[in-house]
């Protein structure tokens, strides 16, 4: 007998004892997990389809290994903007061995392990009941909330006094990029020219500009700051 299951947004055709790599499940090696999203099942030419899932159908599997997929590289380049961004991603995977395909509400031979979240919630509820009750925390005032939001929105750098420079003179900085830099306190050629590698990394982390792009602007700003 085979079944078509759905997990992690993907569909798989499985049979008993099949080894399968699926997106990460919160379980330990040796645990039994249940997959209730059964789209179809059958044997030979006799196939039953669900709408979308088959009522009472269940697939159980044993966790064999927790691991990662190969690294996938995403490279994005903006033409004529001197902007490049390279991002790597490794999908977490769980290797399982299909144990049983159950129909009509049948119970599995081995019970699935309780989810870690459920265990943690149960422990937290017991601890909360046992702990002495504390007075309710004071509600945050509007002024305190506003102060918190202002602190969160603080710019990365302190803008100098005086007239700002026209950063759009630098190749690769348009009106939108200049506005974004100004909002973070960068408004002059001298500021851009004095950016340290640590500052470049900070901008790369918090703004939509790559480190290579910022370093190029820094070199151009050094020449403009001399004039």
Q: What's residue 204's pLDDT?
A: 84
Query: Could you tell me which of 118, 112, 114 has the C-alpha nearest to residue 59?
Result: 112
Give exposure, 47-77, as e/b (b: 16+ Cβ within 10 Å): eeeeeeebeebbbbbbbeeeeeeeeeeeeee
The percent of residues above 90 in pLDDT, for the chain, comes to 28
**Spelled out in words, what is the top-level CATH class assigned to the domain 156-226?**
mainly alpha
What pLDDT is recorded for position 151?
45
Q: Residue 54 corresponds to which tokens in the numbers above?
A: 């088959």
What is the pTM for the complete model shown?
Answer: 0.46
- Band (pLDDT 50/70/90 cuts) for residue 44 is confident
With a CB cutoff of 8 Å and minimum separation 6, the contacts of 115 are: 26
For all residues of the chain together, what is the average pLDDT?
83
Q: Which two tokens stand for residue 29?
A: 């090696």
Query: What residue spans define the domains of the chain?
Result: 2-106, 156-226
Whose CA is closest to 35, among 7, 3, 15, 71? Answer: 7
What's the average model confidence in pLDDT over 190-196? Answer: 89
Q: Check pLDDT > 80 for residue 117.
A: no
pLDDT tens readout for residues 134-161? 555 555 565 565 555 544 567 888 888 8
Average pLDDT, integer, range 44-52:
88
Lowest mean pLDDT among 15-19, 121-125, 172-176, 223-227: 121-125
Check residue 206 and give its pLDDT. 82
Burial class (CB in 10 A: 0-12, 13-18, 19+), 221: buried
């Amino acid at each position: 007998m085979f079944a078509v299951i759905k997990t992690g947004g993907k569909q798989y055709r499985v049979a008993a004892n099949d080894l399968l790599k699926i997106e990460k499940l919160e379980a330990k090696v040796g645990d039994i997990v249940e997959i209730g999203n059964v789209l179809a099942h059958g044997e030979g030419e006799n196939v039953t389809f669900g709408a979308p899932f088959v009522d009472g159908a269940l697939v159980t599997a044993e966790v064999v290994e927790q691991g990662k997929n190969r690294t996938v590289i995403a490279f994005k380049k903006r033409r004529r903007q001197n902007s490049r961004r390279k991002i790597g991603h490794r999908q977490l995977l769980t290797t399982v061995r299909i144990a049983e395909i159950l129909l009509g509400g049948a119970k599995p031979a081995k019970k699935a392990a309780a989810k870690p979240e459920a265990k943690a919630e149960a422990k937290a509820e017991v601890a909360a009941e046992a702990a002495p009750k504390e007075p309710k925390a004071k509600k945050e005032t509007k002024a305190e909330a506003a102060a918190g939001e202002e602190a969160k929105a603080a710019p990365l750098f302190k803008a100098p006094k005086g007239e700002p420079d026209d950063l759009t003179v630098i190749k690769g900085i348009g009106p939108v990029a200049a506005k974004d830099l100004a909002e973070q306190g960068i408004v002059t050629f001298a500021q851009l020219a004095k950016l340290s590698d640590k500052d470049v990394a900070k901008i790369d982390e918090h703004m939509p500009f790559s480190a290579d792009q910022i370093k190029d602007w820094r070199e151009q700003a050094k020449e403009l700051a001399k004039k």
